[in-house]
Amino acid sequence: MAKSSNQKVVPECKAALDMMKYEIAAELGLPVGKQALQSFGADTEFATELGAVPAGSIKEDYWGHIASRDTGYVGGNITKRLIQKAEETLFSLE
């Protein structure tokens, strides 16, 4: 059976990768997560009290309104930075 390509080799890196993802998104000016809801003028507390929006449906990690091109750009920048860090580490060992 084929191994899923979504599995991380080092699962403990998830927090660091998420931090890098949001850092790059902020640098690019992309509103993601709860910040995105606020930028659209949505009052999430009021909407959840009225029941219009279920409280459990508001997620911190929401990227649905971001264009595929922009999310790909974020992923490309993550890869670029990881390669730069690996090269820096290798060159510092010499």
Q: What would the pLDDT profile of 2-46 be if each residue is shown by its tens digit?
A: 666 777 788 888 888 888 888 888 888 887 765 555 554 444 454
Separation between Cα atoms, residue 24 and residue 72, nearest integer Å: 12
At residue 3, the pLDDT reads 62
Helix (H) or strand (E) holding 9: none
Neighbours of 30 (CB within 10 A): 19
Is 65 within 8 Å of 36 (Cβ atoms)? yes
Tokens of 13: 């890196």
Largest CA distance in the chain: 62
By CB neighbour count within 10 A (0-12 exposed, 13-18 middle, 19+ buried), where does 78 fall?
A: middle
The 10s digit of each residue's pLDDT in 47-73 is 444 444 444 544 566 787 788 999 999
